[in-house]
Every structure is written in C-alpha cells, then in structure tokens.
C-alpha cells in the first residue's frame, strides 16, 4: 500500500523548523506560561531459570550473534533508567514537551531524546504537533510503551519494545489529531507523517548516513479510534495503519554474518523494502476489571528483488485481563497476560534481525518466535508508586522457561 510519494527525509528538517516558526508566530504574546517537570523510573529484581522454552530457538539465537543475556539463567537487579518530561504551557493552546531518557546499562550511561515537540490546539477537532513524537500506531505505543509506571504488568511487550523495533518507536515530522463527537460516542484520529524507519529496526530515524545507504522514506501513520463511554465502563475500538514505501537498508544473506558499514556496498547488498503495519485493538475498562487486546500484522515487500523472496510477514499479539480490587484500602490489580510473536521460520525476515553493533558493523541475528504467559499483580501503595510482582512462563522462544520479577516503579 504505497500511498505516499517516495521522498527523502531531508525535507523534514526545514519542514519541522517551518512548523515551529508558524506555531510560535501564532502565539507571539503568551498569555500564560507554566513549566512542569515530571517523570518516572523503576527498579527491578529479576530471575530467570529453567531450560529454554524452545531449544532450537535458543541455539539459533546463540549461534547467530544474539544477546547472551536473554538466554542465560540468573538473577539480576536492574535500574533501566529514568524518563524525564519537561512540559511548558506557553498558552492555552500552545504546549511544548520534551522527554529525555537517561539509561543506565551496566557500565554505560546514555542519554536519549525520546520526544521533542510543539503542539498547537486549534480546536477539539484539530491539533497540530511538530517535532519528534511517539508514533501514534495502535494503543500500546501511545499509552503503555514503557515497562515502568504506565503499565500494570512488568514485562515490556515485544510489539513495542524499542530494542526489537517491530513497531517504529518515534516519528520525526508532523502529526494532526482530534476528536469528533457523534451522539453518545466519539471518534478520535491521529495522522502522522515523517521519518520513522532507520537502516536497522531499532535505528534512530535521524541517524547519520550509514555506509552509502540512503535515508528511508517518510512514513504515513493513520490511527482511528471509536470511544463509547458507558455507565458500566469505557470501550475503545481502534485500528492503526502505517505505511513506509521505502526502507533503505543492507541485505545480509546469512544469519550471524556481520557487514562493515563503512565499506562501499555492492548492488546485491542493497535492500529496499516497503512496509505496511496493520494494528487493530480493543480495550474495555470497567470499574472492576479491564480487558485489552492488540494485534499487529507487519508485511515487508522486497522492492529490489535482492533478498530471495518477494514478501515477508509476521504477526504479534498482546492480550490482557485485569481485575481491580483493594486490600486495606490500597488498589491491587491482579492480571493475566498473553503475548505471541510469530515469524515464518521457513522464510526468515531480512530486516527485523538486523542490529548495529557499537563499532562499524551491522549483524543479522536470528529473529526468534516467542510465546509467553504472564501472571502477576500490581499494587498502588501510594498515588505515584506501583509495585509489581510477576511470574513469566515462556511457551516458545530462546529464553529460559521461567521468570520471576519484582519491580517498584514511581512517578514524580
């Protein structure tokens, strides 16, 4: 579904600057300005034990350059980092927000700009955002993308895991969104256009050019959601579609092979893929329970014919049921969650296993299937603190079968 003209992302920068100037120009005299600093973080204790859920997946993962931490048994205390939000209400209509992620990974400390945007509210039906923002595809990406405070469950979902890159995490460009009332229901929409894909799935959209690989084309994302407020609860039904006509990348013909990105690419090593993602979801939130499910279908088409197959497809599913109760006046949320990630083993995907090493190489790792059940409970001891206890059972994948996680997440 190539509905977007193939253009370079180079025009996105001047477009973004123009958008900023227009929005500032419309609010030369700010009537009210409020600065708000907030954020969230977490600390987690995790242990993984047992045989691999799927020994064949474990062997493929280990043999082809996969992260060894994923498949090892062991216990770990982790502090993933902190998300810091700076929000400024320039006026009743103009908002600035930035989100910075401070990551601590063993001996490394990284700072990553997650979001940086201006948002102008023309009306209920039309708001315009320019800058870098979370790709508005589906429900999870917009609302529960991080494993910390915004989630009841502990484990981050594969479909929105930034390290996997199955769903483009950020878009750099323009977004329009709004709400239309239709009787007793509402129709909400999001339309985003901008750079979202890099040379690798987890690559930054504004990364520097890699080894003569051109920048990918902008992506178009459309998300529609119907909202039914009822006396018994709220029902949200939505559908997101994302199209990227041209993902420029490197074709690596075998698993575990690493390519030096600084070397000139042979024509047979160039890869040009068009990607389409369908993301239907449903969520029902009542006073005593919540039910949620989101399903993604990712389709890639080989536009150059170098990869050996015309198209590739995989699916991901995340479903959860949650109960709301209280113990001694404190909110408790026991839950049951099911996730499944399904690649076609007989037609290995050439893009989603690509990982850029910290040096000058890109390696093609094995993109593993996964299936897991999570049982746990979240406890809201204080208004801005959540403790999570979770048991993970892997039914498929390279990880050990069992995992126990205890985490405390907090917002400020």
Partner 1 sequence: MAAIVLGTIMLTGINQEAQAQIVVIVNNDNSTENMTAGKVKLYYLRKIKKRWPSNNAAIKPVNLKSGKAKASFLGLLKMADSEVAQYFKQRQFANAEAPPVNVGSESEMIKYVSENAGAIGYVSKATYDANSSKVKAVLTQ
Q: Which residues bind to partner 1, rule: CB under 8 A?
A: 34, 36, 38, 40, 83, 85, 87, 89, 92-93, 95, 97, 99, 117, 119, 121, 123-124, 134, 142-143, 149-150, 179, 181, 186, 227, 229, 231, 234, 287, 326, 330-331, 380, 382-384, 386, 411
Please tell me the distance from the alpha carbon of residue 273 to that of residue 202, in angstroms, as a whole number: 16
Q: How far is the CB of 203 from partner 1 (least distance, A)?
A: 24
Pull the structure tokens for residue 381: 């001891």
Virtual torsion, Cα 136, 140, 141, 147, nearest 10 deg: 160
Q: Residue 121, class by beta-carbon neighbours within 10 Å (0-12 exposed, 13-18 middle, 19+ buried)?
A: middle
For partner 1, the closer of residues 295 and 410 by Cβ is: 410
Please tell me the distance from the alpha carbon of residue 262 to that of residue 366, in angstroms, as a whole number: 23
Burial 333-342 (b: 16+ CB within 10 A, else e): bbbebebbbe
Q: How far is the CB of 196 from partner 1 (least distance, A)?
A: 18
For partner 1, the closer of residues 149 and 352 by Cβ is: 149
Q: How far is the CB of 108 from partner 1 (least distance, A)?
A: 25
For partner 1, the closer of residues 70 and 186 by Cβ is: 186
Q: How many C-beta neighbours within 10 Å does residue 269 have?
A: 17
Is there a contact between 105 and 53 (Cβ–Cβ < 8 Å)?
no
Please tell me the distance from the alpha carbon of residue 35 to that of residue 50, in angstroms, as a whole number: 49
Q: How far is the CB of 58 from partner 1 (least distance, A)?
A: 36
Q: How far is the CB of 166 from partner 1 (least distance, A)?
A: 20
Is there a contact between 323 and 288 (Cβ–Cβ < 8 Å)?
yes
For partner 1, the closer of residues 85 and 102 by Cβ is: 85
**Chain position carrying tokens 């123009």:** 18
Pull the structure tokens for residue 170: 């950020």
For partner 1, the closer of residues 84 and 273 by Cβ is: 84
Residue 389's region, left for phi above 0, alpha for psi from -120 to 50, else beta, is beta
**Chain position carrying tokens 């959860």:** 320
Q: How far is the CB of 127 from partner 1 (least distance, A)?
A: 8
Q: How far is the CB of 230 from partner 1 (least distance, A)?
A: 9
For partner 1, the closer of residues 149 and 314 by Cβ is: 149
For partner 1, the closer of residues 258 and 380 by Cβ is: 380
Please tell me the distance from the alpha carbon of residue 339 to that of residue 367, in angstroms, as a whole number: 16
Pull the structure tokens for residue 122: 């023309």
For partner 1, the closer of residues 123 and 254 by Cβ is: 123
Q: How far is the CB of 97 from partner 1 (least distance, A)?
A: 4
Scanning 111-237, the segments in alpha helix (DSSP H) are 140-143
């Amino acid at each position: 579904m190539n509905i977007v003209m193939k253009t370079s992302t180079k025009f996105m920068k001047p477009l973004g600057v123009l958008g900023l100037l227009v929005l500032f120009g419309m609010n030369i005299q700010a009537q009210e300005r409020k600065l708000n600093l907030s954020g969230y973080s977490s600390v987690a204790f995790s242990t993984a034990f047992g045989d691999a859920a799927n020994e064949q997946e474990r062997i493929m993962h280990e043999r082809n350059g996969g992260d060894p931490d994923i498949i090892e048994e062991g216990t770990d205390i982790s502090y993933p980092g902190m998300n810091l939000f700076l929000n400024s209400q320039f006026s009743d209509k103009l908002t600035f927000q930035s989100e910075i992620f401070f990551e601590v990974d063993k001996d490394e400390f990284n700072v990553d700009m997650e979001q940086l945007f201006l948002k102008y509210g023309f009306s209920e039906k039309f708001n315009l955002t320019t800058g870098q923002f979370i790709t508005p595809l589906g429900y999870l990406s917009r609302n529960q993308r991080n494993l910390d405070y915004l989630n009841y469950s502990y484990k981050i979902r594969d479909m929105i895991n930034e390290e996997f890159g199955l769903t483009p995490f950020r878009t750099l460009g323009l977004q329009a969104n709004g709400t239309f009332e239709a009787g007793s229901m509402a129709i909400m929409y999001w339309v985003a256009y901008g750079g979202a894909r890099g040379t690798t799935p987890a690559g930054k959209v504004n990364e520097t050019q890699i080894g003569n690989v051109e920048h990918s084309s902008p992506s178009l994302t459309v998300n529609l959601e119907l909202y039914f407020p009822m006396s018994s609860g709220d029902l949200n039904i939505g559908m997101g579609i994302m199209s990227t006509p041209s993902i420029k990348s490197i074709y690596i013909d075998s698993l575990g092979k690493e390519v030096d990105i600084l070397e000139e690419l042979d024509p047979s090593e160039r890869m040009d893929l068009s990607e389409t993602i369908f993301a239907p979801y449903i969520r029902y939130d009542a006073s005593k329970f919540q039910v949620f499910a989101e399903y993604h279908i990712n389709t890639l088409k080989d536009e150059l014919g170098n990869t050996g197959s015309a198209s590739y497809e995989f699916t991901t599913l995340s479903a959860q049921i949650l109960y709301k109760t209280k113990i001694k006046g404190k909110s408790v949320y026991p839950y049951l969650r099911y996730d499944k990630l399904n690649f076609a083993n007989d037609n290995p995907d050439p893009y989603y296993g690509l990982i850029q090493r910290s040096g000058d190489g890109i390696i093609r790792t094995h993109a593993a299937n996964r299936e897991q059940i999570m049982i746990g409970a979240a406890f809201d001891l204080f208004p801005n603190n959540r403790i999570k206890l979770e048991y993970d059972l892997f039914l498929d994948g390279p990880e050990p079968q069992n995992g126990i996680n205890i985490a405390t997440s907090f917002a400020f």
